[in-house]
Amino acid sequence: MIDGFNRKIEYLRLSVTKKCMEKCIYCSKDDEKCAVKGEELPAEAFIKIADACAKLHINKVRLTGGEPLLRHDLEEIVRGIYDLNNYKDITITTNAQLLAGKAAALKKAGVNRCNISLDSLKPDVYKEMTGGDLNKVFKGIEAAFNESMLPIKINTVLIKGKNDGEIDDFIELAKQYPLSVRFIELMPVGDMLLTGISNEKIIKEHKYLLPLNTDEKSSGPAKIYTAKGFKGNVGFISPITNCFCSSCNRIRVTSDAYLKPCLGNEAEYSLKEALSLDTNELAKTISEIIRKKPQNHTFSDVFNADRKMKDIGG
């Protein structure tokens, strides 16, 4: 559907859980400050929301969190959404800690692609930044390749003094492997005492990377670059230095049933009551909220998000 600023909204991001086994320094530090307004929705509620969104011509869905693979019924959610016969693209964003053991079942249920978060190629730095095990991420990436969940996108958030010395190593990864390594600028969601790295600066310092003309459907908000001899490519997602709000096509639903029309704005609307209505009525409620989607994010103002990214679904 078209929102109040003439943007075509066609992409639903469902945060299926706020739980995560990792504790990323920019995402879930100060866990006790996380706003939890209600219980996590059951599988059938997520499927009903996806069904209602399908009626609004939303045709792409991503399952995120928290860590979506911690939901024991994730396959049920995926299969239910797949069976709606509306979503051509069912994707997940995962830290890959559990992916090696679950990739085959998820693929069978209907997941066609995955984005894998990977903030360091050094085991000790990875552990320090996330609390996780780097080796499991590599095994997860291998499993995703084996299941042809392609193209595999690697999400990297660069933090000054932590992993910003690894920029060239990540670019090398895109040279050696058919992966899309995407640098996502740090967004000030929740209390943020860390400093991110500007994508503009990286692009300026890596002049051998040349922009690729890609359609927005496959690359989303990422500006894609590559160079001679590269098997993969490098993407830059720059909500801070190159805001893409004018082409934002997405809405988010939290695991406790709040619809957030904009990641970088505190407004959120409960779907709880509407979930007890029939799917057409739920679609009507969602469409009314989509019309309230703000024109721009408010990251540059003082943005005191009540929720952490893991509640909203990054």
List of residues contacting ligand SAM (CB under 6 A): 20, 26-27, 64-65, 67, 93-95, 117, 155, 157, 184, 186-187, 189, 309-310, 314
Select 81 or 309, whichever has its Cβ closest to ligand SAM. Answer: 309
Question: H helices within 156-256, ranges in order?
Answer: 167-176, 199-205, 216-219
Supply the minimum distance, in Å, between the C-beta of residue 93 and ligand SAM. 4
**Tokens at 194, concatenated:** 């860390």
Provide the CA 213 distance to its chain's centre, in angstroms: 22
Q: Which residue is nearest to ligand SAM (CB)?
A: 314
Spell out the residues 6+ positions from residue 157 whose beta carbon is closer than 8 angstroms to its own. Answer: 24, 26, 117, 119, 183, 184, 185, 186, 196
Select 52 or 309, whichever has its Cβ closest to ligand SAM. Answer: 309
Supply the minimum distance, in Å, between the C-beta of residue 68 and ligand SAM. 7
DSSP 166: G
Select 64 or 233, whichever has its Cβ closest to ligand SAM. Answer: 64
Supply the minimum distance, in Å, between the C-beta of residue 195 and ligand SAM. 12
Supply the minimum distance, in Å, between the C-beta of residue 87 and ligand SAM. 19
Compute CA distances 286 → 5, 171, 257, 261, 280, whole Å. 16, 40, 12, 10, 10
Select 3 or 256, whichever has its Cβ closest to ligand SAM. Answer: 256
Supply the minimum distance, in Å, between the C-beta of residue 160 and ligand SAM. 13
**How crowded is residue 167: how many other Cβ atoms within 10 Å of its Cβ?**
19
Select 281 or 306, whichever has its Cβ closest to ligand SAM. Answer: 306
Nearest to 237 by CA among 253, 259, 221, 254: 221
